[in-house]
Chains A and B, each alone.
Chain A
Amino acid sequence: MNSFQSKTALTVLLCLTLGAAIFRAQTASNRDADKAAIKQLVANFADTWNSHDAHGLAMHYVEDGDFSSVKAEPSHGRKELEEHYMTIFTTFLKNAHTTDTVRTIRFLAPDLANVDIDWLVTDPAAPGGVLRKGLLTWVVTKRNGEWKIVVYHEQAF
């Protein structure tokens, strides 16, 4: 290999290395931003829940989102979701307050993630003030730059 070929090979190698490093840094930076945005979704969802805003909660889902209760009773799509939240907020959860803390986020694809959330529902009238605690597991997706819930499961323990 002559000197010109060596220089060219080195330049190409340098460009590729630099390109890969920039790409990796960009991916990590996007992922950090997405994690922050997902945590914000969880915080917004808790605020909406604590305002007992059934319509607002349904809008945190994609249009054909799936919800499943602690007893695996399903609600599908925004209309059913809103009806479900309306029912719980006018009956057994009308004085309830939720505290949701993100435990883990696992990306399944660039715009798709699973989120585990520790969950505590309190009510002054409940024994010890705690009505329910457990784990929420959501699948969230990014649509038009905004993270939304696709599938929602909850378990109480």
Chain B
Amino acid sequence: MISTRVKIALAVLMFFSISAALSWAQMASNMDADSAAIKQCVAAWEDAWNRHDAHATAMAYVEDGDFSSTTGVPSHGWKELEVHYNEIFTTFLKDAHRTDTVRGIRFLGPGIASVDIDWQMTGAKTRDGQDAPNRKGLLTWIVTKNNGQWRITIYHESVF
């Protein structure tokens, strides 16, 4: 015969095991949904970039977002970001097209993630208007979830 005390202990153990399993499943499910939403954020940004829409490209950032170019030149906040994108879309990248592929997502805390993205570009010009070789490299973003929407907080890009 199993004593009452053992039965209670087993019931408590079962309760905590089920709760932990449910909580884990919920977390995994949220993480899957967030990963999908982050990939969607990357795709939407890529689409805005390929339309050469400086305003929409800037709006994919949080209002005080930080951009840093391949040579470490910064732009801060929506206004500067839009000016930056407008400048590149009307000069050496006016015929450029990019392809972005998410390589890895690492969650850093609730609503914060680091995203590595392989990028390739065709159609770029040199600053003096000559055809430039195709470019490729890595984008590294910090994205944050604001009011249910993932946005770019910090953007770095490298070329190799």
Point out the residue from A68, A71, A112, A157 that lies within 8 Å of B109, measured CB to CB. Answer: A112
In the complex, what residues of B have CB within 8 A of residue A108's CB? 108-109, 112, 142, 144, 153
Interchain CB contact under 8 A, B112 and A70: no
Task: Tell me whether chain B's interface is mostly helix, strand or loop, or mixed.
Answer: strand
Q: A68 vs B159: C-alpha distance in the bound complex, in angstroms?
A: 13
Interface residues contributed by chain B, number (CB under 8 Å): 25
User: Count of A-B contacts with CB under 8 A?
Assistant: 68
Judged by a CB distance under 8 angstroms, whether A1 is at the interface is no
Judged by a CB distance under 8 angstroms, whether B53 is at the interface is no
Say yes or no: A68-B116 contact (C-beta < 8 A), given A139-B142, A141-B108: yes
Q: A109 vs B113: C-alpha distance in the bound complex, in angstroms?
A: 12
In the complex, what residues of A have CB within 8 A of residue B112's CB? 108-109, 112
Interface residues contributed by chain A, number (CB under 8 Å): 24
**What is the interface of chain B, defined by CB distance below 8 A to chain A?**
66, 68, 70-72, 103, 106, 108-109, 112, 114, 116, 118, 137-138, 140, 142, 144, 153-154, 156-160
**What is the interface of chain A, defined by CB distance below 8 A to chain B?**
66, 68, 70-72, 106, 108-109, 112, 114, 116, 118, 134-135, 137, 139, 141, 150-151, 153-157
Closest 6 CB pairs of A and B: A155-B158, A72-B138, A135-B72, A157-B71, A153-B140, A71-B160
